[in-house]
A and B are shown apart, each in its own frame.
Chain A
Amino acid sequence: MNDNLAHPFPRAGWRNALGGLLLAATASLAHAPASAQGYAGLGTEAEGFALPSPETNFSFPRDHGPHPDFRIEWWYLTANLSGEDGNEYGIQWTLFRSALQPGEADGWDSPQIWMGHAGLTTPDAHFVAERLARGGIGQAGVSAHPFEAWIDDWQMRQTGGSTATLGSLSLSARGEGFGYDLSLQSDGPLVFQGNDGYSVKSPDGQASYYYSQPFYRITGTLSLADGPVRVTGEGWLDREWSSQPLSETQDGWDWISLHLATGAKLMGFRLRDRAGEPFTSATWIDPDGTAFPYSDGHLSLTPLAASDVSGADIPTSWQVDLPDRALSVTLSALNPQSWMSTSFPYWEGPVMISGTHSGRGYLEMTGYGPE
């Protein structure tokens, strides 16, 4: 990534540079602060952008929509799926919003830029697509009521159910060699991460607003080269927005969302720090949606084995321990080559859980190179 950012031109081309900018901004929240250093303009200050407040006061459906006064925001859905053909699959659908300046304006003058990432993982293949769009002209955006998030012909749209908890969604995206059309249903409540949705990212206090809807049951169809595959499975939607970068020494993160066979869920992340111990955070979610946040130090994430992915060693097998919940499991990637070769590349793919608990989930890792 350093390379990409140090020389965003001319080889990488404008589009990559823009993608880099966008994710640099995005990453400045959680992913990879090295990038934030690459863009002096994005510095460490919020520069007129709104900042998250520990006194959270969410209102739905309004907060499902965009918050243009914050620098970055995302609508992030991952799903573990089982095909009628007996194969395991995973899909990712993400819409990032990045603001060059706070606020919104009409037409081409809008300072908002949108980026979509779609992924589809099979046991032996991984498909990636990326879209970029300007705000203000309708090519991409999010409306809160009725809920719809879209970029080009990709969309995540409310089809019924509870407006507040986004109980019923349709989801579609396509790229070269793949596509999916899925229907998502959830009876569970929204889950607020950290302290009622105020999620702290470092000992220095950097934080974001962060809530999830982890209870989706999914049916639908994947489109692959060999034809359509009917699938069922479970999905997890993350909503997060902020304006602050990470602290200077944090250089990447490992994030997991696990669907345990018991019906409980676990969200956890580990922010790696060059200057010392990693910063961890976790939320245990009971099957009824009751959330139990765990602050730094309770969760431990330990790499077990690495794979050569795109020329870099990336841990694709992990030991996860949360002693407070007597959880000690091993995560192994469904496909170790789940490399998101987007403008700002990272690893994101489905994992299988074994140990004290079983189940499946999603793993995201940034900052390992070979960016």
Chain B
Amino acid sequence: MRRAALQALLSHWRRQPLQLLTLLAGLALATALWSAVQAINAEARRSYAQAASVLDRGTLANLTAPGGTIATDTYAALRRAGWKVSPVIEGRIVRGGQRVAIVGLEPLTAPQGALPETVGPAVPPQEMFSHPGVGFAAPQTVAALADLPDSHDLPRLVAAASMPPGQILTDIAVAGRLLDLKGSMHRLIVLPEQPATRRPLEDVAPDLTLTPPRDGGDLARLTDSFHLNLTAFGLLSFAVGLFIVHGAVGLAFEQRRQVFRTLRALGLPLGTLLGMLLAELLILALIAGSFGVTAGYLIAGALLPDVAATLRGLYGASVPGSLTFDPGWAVSGLGIALLGTLVAAANGLLAVRRMPLLASAQPRAWATLSGRAVRRQAVAGAVLATLGALAPLLADGLVAGFVLMGGLLLGAALALPFFLTTVLGICAGRARSATWEWFWADTRQQLPGLSLALMALLLALATNIGVTTMVSSFRLTFTGWLDQRLVSQLYVTARNEADGEALRAWLTPRAEAVLPIWSLELPLNGTVGEVYGIIDHPIYAEKWPLLAKVPDAWDRLASGTGVLVNEQLARREEVSLGDPLSIGEDWTLPVVAIYSDYGNPLGQAITGLDPLQAGHPELPRLRHGVLTDDPDGLLTALREDFGLPDANMTHQANLKAFSMQVFERTFAVTAALNVLTLAVAAFAILTSLLTLSAMRLPQLAPVWALGLTRSHLARMEVVRSLALAALTFVLALPTGLLLAWALLAVVNVEAFGWRLPMFLFPAQWLALFALALLAALIAAALPVRRLARTAPAQFLKVFADER
């Protein structure tokens, strides 16, 4: 009996291979996007804890000396006083004409994870300490440095994907040899756990300065927002995928009502039937989930280089561009596929359970539209949207921003059926022929079956509009801002202090102006940030982009009685014009202006150069902006007459190009996810239309019998699909714009610390509108073709069959 029952149940899929494909594909798609995002997040998180970031200044506390280097004896004295510190030396060498950063660490005392994890057995530990030693570098750096005539003194280079390009990480002895720095170090990393019994720093090394780690894992907090963003995208795609599965499972159950009834009537217990259905679903979910996880891994692998670029560009976080396979991740991907299937199928299973034994096996052709249910849904949607809107008012933080976005999107999705019914009702009322009246009424009748797919489309369209608006607004603002901000035509960096002095003397008669870009890190209201000193030059007042200022801001700055802060700092420290800002020790100035500073994760302040130099004689005087009419000529002269290496000079145009490149890569992932989500939504419409077309024969047959030809009917089906997509777009547009506003005004402020003005791009909407219609057209094509080819006998059978 069981075997026969199982065969009867499964035979359905043999007869409906397309439905089976839909179910599997929908589930696989949903799982794929979700697990791709998870894989990317996991990879990024793993690498945060790794090598480069541990050694980065700012991840852990550091000890530095005012003179720049620390003697070995001081290091030994600190260790012997109980301090768990580890030395680092840093510098640059030139090999084969390329600059290579050298980082030397002491492997025995370095913090956990300082060396690349992927080193493997390629490096016997004693080799690290012996001549010529071992250096770790990014694979492309290893390749670039291979077989150069002047690279014979380098350690044996081992490729490590986690290393940032252009850097060699090696033992401190090797680094000291390469940099000619024997016996001194640049800084000491202070390990997170320090014995309470260690002697005070003032007693052991009074001349060293302890710099605390930057603001409790600023990097982690900042990047968290990025990952939350990705997760939201993943979740969205998963939800859309579930719509597909729900549709397919619902249909499969619907069409098998007769089979269920017959099996039950033959004596199959309800529990066994449910168990079989459940097992069938779980097996399908496992198959689809496996495909999804595999596809997710591939997608993640394809997206990761861009994600890595984004994280590096936006936050300076180093993430390898390669993916590690984690079995736990695969299992969780399968788990979410199973869970999703169960959620999507719960409705169908419950219906089977409630089905009376002797009920008519007549398919219900989906529930008739209930006006009350639609209104109730719309009210729920309105409540959700309102709650979302309240979230940023009631709570701070990124989560509130996402609640706002979630409420908005879900609210709009829930309100969609009400919106469509209302509009379709109006259309039906205005129809001037019976055919069209039937068309509108029939469209309305189909809404319950299509509404989930249309909701998916709405979500995809709104997200698309929102994200595109955000990115485009950002691009516009950023480009304009770059033009203003990069006031100098040429940027030059001296090799050392003496060189800097000579450089200034050389440039002064040859350039319009030499603007020092001298900065150092100081606590700003207690949190370490950058402080720049600038000279009094009219070009700043003319071009520097300010968001808010007191009338005499530039004069106050020049006279040393005011300070400029960037937007990030102003928001983070909640300072506004006139508020005092403490800069390092014993120096407080009122804020006289706030400037925009896109792309910088750090708080920043600008003071007059003279007071900054007076208070901090250690200020490095190396970088300069140069105002000149002939940047190319000056560049050549600097190289040939003054002898400054190319690497120390940057043309404004190159700087701009680089910044834009960082920007474009930053949003490449967003664009890719955008397209993927839209594709999933189109697929959802396709499956829904397929589902409906299979069931609508009884509804179409009378119309056909009344004289409408098959091709006429097919054309009307196409129009219907287009009309629904167009109407959905009408609701998606305002939703998307609201979403864009939420991204720009709430999420960005929380995630990056800056707010962007919003610009509107109607051309993009038109393109998207066309895309939505195209998606609807493609989705409708297959069912319509099938309808046009339905044999008249099939229509007739509707009247003949005893159903």
- Partner pick for A174 among B115, B121, B128, B195, CB 8 A cutoff: B195
Interface window among A134-142, A302-310, A361-369? A134-142
Complex contact B79–A152 (CB within 8 A): yes
Interface string of B55-80 (1 = CB under 8 A from A): 00000000000000000110111011
Give the residues in chain A near B437, CB-CB below 8 Å: none
Whether the pair B76, A139 counts as a contact (CB closer than 8 A) is yes
Most buried by B among A8, A10, A15, A153: A153
Chain A residues near B117: list those with CB within 8 A.
10, 13
Could you mark each residue 29-43 of chain A with 1 if its beta carbon is under 8 Å from any beta carbon of chain B, else 0?
Answer: 000000000010100
Q: Which residue of A lies closest to B108 (CB)?
A: A132
Chain A contacts with B in 125-166, Cβ cutoff 8 A: 132-134, 137-139, 150, 152-153, 155
Q: Which residues of A contact B7 (CB under 8 A)?
A: none
List B contacts of A107 (CB < 8 A). Answer: 72, 173, 176, 182-183
Q: How far is the CB of A179 from chain B (nearest CB, A)?
A: 7
Residues of A within 8 A of B81 (CB): 153
Q: In this assembly, does B433 line the interface, its C-beta being within 8 Å of a C-beta of chain A?
A: no
A227 to B73, CA, bound (A): 34
Q: Which residue of B lies closest to A152 (CB)?
A: B79
- CA–CA, A9 and B106, complex, Å: 18
Q: List, in ascending order, chain B residues with CB within 8 A of A108's CB.
A: 106, 171-173, 176, 182
Per the 8 Å Cβ criterion, residues 1-37 of A in contact with B are 7-10, 13-15, 17-18, 20-21
Give the CA-CA distance A39 to B77 in the complex, in Å. Answer: 34
Contact, CB under 8 Å: A8 / B121: yes
Residue contact B173 to A14, C-beta cutoff 8 Å? no
Contact of A152 with B125 in the complex, beta carbons under 8 Å: no
Q: Which of A101, A138, A153, A155 contacts B72 (CB 8 A)?
A: A138
* A39 CA / B109 CA spacing, docked (Å): 23
Q: How far is the CB of A182 from chain B (nearest CB, A)?
A: 15
The reply to whether B73 and A153 form a contact with Cβ atoms under 8 Å apart is no
Query: Is B112 part of the contact surface with A, judged by Cβ < 8 Å?
Result: yes
Residues of B within 8 A of A9 (CB): 119-121, 123
Note all chain A residues with C-beta closer than 8 A to B120. 9-10
Q: Which chain B residues border A109 with CB–CB below 8 Å?
A: 173
B195 and A138: CB pair below 8 A?
Answer: no
Q: Determine how close the nearest CB of chain B comes to the CB of A112; give it in whole angstroms.
A: 10
B489 to chain A, nearest CB (A): 45
Nearest Cβ on chain A to B439's Cβ, whole angstroms = 66
Contact across chains for B79 and A133 when beta carbons are under 8 A apart = yes
**Contact with A153, one of B119, B124, B171, B195 (Cβ below 8 angstroms):** B195
- Beyond A10-B119, A100-B126, A179-B197, whether A18 also contacts B108 by CB under 8 A is yes
Tell me which residues across on chain A come within 8 A of B75, comparing CB atoms. 137, 139
Chain A residues with CB under 8 Å of B124's CB are 39, 41
Residues of A within 8 A of B76 (CB): 137-139
Residue of B76, B117, B125, B171 most packed against chain A (CB within 10 A): B125
B118 at the interface (CB under 8 A from A): yes
Tell me, in angstroms, the Cα distance from A248 to B197 when the chains sit together: 45
For the complex, is A65 an interface residue (Cβ under 8 Å from B)?
no
Q: Does chain A have a CB within 8 A of B484?
A: no
Residues in A42-85 with C-beta less than 8 Å from chain B: none
Q: Which chain B residue shows the least CB distance to A153?
A: B82
Q: How far does the alpha carbon of A134 sit from the alpha carbon of B75 in the complex, in Å?
A: 12
Answer whether residue A188 sits at the interface, using C-beta atoms and an 8 A cutoff.
no
Residues of A within 8 A of B72 (CB): 107, 137-138
List the A side residues contacting B118 at CB < 8 Å.
Answer: 10
CA distance A174 to B115 in the complex (A): 27
Q: Would you give the shortest CB distance from B123 to chain A, in whole angstroms?
A: 8
Interface size on B, residues (CB 8 A): 38
Q: Is B130 an interface residue (CB 8 A)?
A: yes
Contact B129 A100 (CB under 8 A): yes
When C-beta atoms are compared, the residue in chain B nearest to A223 turns out to be B197
Q: Is the CB of A153 within 8 A of B126?
A: no
Residue of A nearest to B182 (CB): A107
| Contact string against A for B residues 150-173, beta-carbon threshold 8 Å, 1 for contact and 0 otherwise | 000000000000000000000111
- CB neighbours (8 Å) of B125 from chain A are 8, 14, 17-18, 20-21
- A138 / chain B contacts, CB cutoff of 8 Å: 72-73, 76-77, 80
CB-based contact A113/B129 at 8 Å:
yes
B130: chain A residues at CB < 8 Å are 100-101, 111
Residue pair A41, B126 in contact (C-beta under 8 Å) = yes
What's the minimum C-beta distance from A114 to chain B, rounded to whole angstroms? 9
In the complex, the answer to whether A21 meets B121 with C-beta atoms within 8 Å is no
In chain B, residues 485-529, which have Cβ atoms closer than 8 Å to a Cβ of chain A? Answer: none
Nearest-neighbour CB distance to chain A for B302, whole angstroms, equals 26
The answer to whether B79 and A111 have CB atoms under 8 Å apart is no
8 Å CB contact of A139 from B79, B113, B128, B171: B79
Q: Could you tell me if B126 and A21 are in contact, using CB atoms closer than 8 angstroms? A: yes
Binary interface encoding of chain A residues 94-134 relative to chain B, with 1 for a CB under 8 A from any of its CBs, else 0: 00000011000001110101000000000000000000111
**What residue of chain B has the Cβ atom nearest to residue A141's Cβ?**
B76
Instruction: Identify the interface centre among B120, B126, B128, B195: most chain A CB within 10 Å of its CB.
Output: B126
Q: Mark B178-201, 1 if CB is under 8 A from A, else 0.
A: 000011000000000001011000
Does B213 sit at the interface, judged by CB under 8 A? Answer: no
Partner among A41, A100, A134 whose Cβ is within 8 Å of the Cβ of B106: A134
Contacts of A8 in B (CB 8 A): 121, 125
Q: A222 CB to closest chain B CB, in angstroms?
A: 14
| Chain B residues positioned under 8 Å from A15 (CB to CB) | 107-108, 112
For residue B124, give the distance in angstroms from its CB to the closest CB of chain A: 7
Alpha-carbon separation in the docked complex, A107 to B183 (Å) = 6
Closest to B183 in A: A107
Q: Are A152 and B80 touching (Cβ within 8 A)?
A: yes
Q: Given the complex of chains A and B, what is the CA–CA distance between A190 and B119 in angstroms?
A: 47
Provide the bound-state CA to CA distance between A138 and B78, in Å: 11
B118: nearest chain-A partner, CB-CB: A10
Q: Which one of B82, B109, B112 contacts A133 once the chains associate, using CB atoms below 8 Å?
A: B109
Among B90-110, those with CB < 8 Å from A are: 106-109
Cα(A269)–Cα(B526), bound, Å: 60
Nearest B residue to A98, CB-CB: B126
CA distance A111 to B131 in the complex (A): 10
Chain A residue nearest to B131 (CB atoms) is A109
Report the Cα distance A220→B197, complex, angstroms: 17
A133 to B119, CA, bound (A): 22
CB pair A14–B115 under 8 Å, yes or no, is yes
Q: Are B108 and A133 in contact (CB under 8 A)?
A: yes
Q: A228 CA to B130 CA in the complex, in Å?
A: 44
**Closest CB of chain B to A142's CB: distance in Å?**
14
Question: How far, in Å, is B120 (CB) from chain A's closest CB?
Answer: 5
Query: What is the bound-complex CA distance between A39 and B127, given in angstroms?
Result: 12
- Which residues of the other chain, A, contact B183 by a CB distance below 8 angstroms? 107
With the chains together, A297 CA to B183 CA distance in Å? Answer: 53
Most buried by A among B80, B112, B171: B80
How many angstroms from the CA of A174 to the CA of B121 in the assembled complex?
Answer: 33
Residue of A nearest to B172 (CB): A108
CB contact between A18 and one of B107, B172, B195 (< 8 Å): that residue: B107
| Docked pose: A152 CA to B128 CA in angstroms | 22
Question: In the complex, A296→B118 CA distance in Å?
Answer: 47
Query: What's the minimum C-beta distance from B195 to chain A, rounded to whole angstroms?
Result: 6
Known: A133-B108, A134-B106, A137-B76. A152 touches B82 (CB 8 A): yes
Please list 6 pairs of residues, one from A and one from B, whose beta carbons are closer than 8 Å in the complex, sorted by A's number: A13-B117, A15-B108, A137-B72, A139-B75, A152-B82, A153-B195
Closest 7 CB pairs of A and B: A138-B76, A108-B173, A153-B82, A132-B108, A139-B79, A21-B125, A152-B79
**A residues touching B (Cβ–Cβ < 8 Å)?**
7-10, 13-15, 17-18, 20-21, 39, 41, 100-101, 107-109, 111, 113, 132-134, 137-139, 150, 152-153, 155, 174, 179
Binding site for A on B (CB under 8 A): 72-73, 75-77, 79-82, 84, 106-109, 112-113, 115, 117-121, 123-126, 128-130, 171-173, 176, 182-183, 195, 197-198
Q: A133-B108, A152-B80, A153-B81 are in contact. List 18 more A-B contacts (CB 8 A).
A: A7-B121, A8-B125, A9-B121, A9-B123, A10-B120, A14-B128, A15-B112, A18-B108, A21-B126, A101-B130, A132-B108, A138-B72, A138-B80, A139-B75, A139-B76, A139-B79, A152-B79, A152-B82
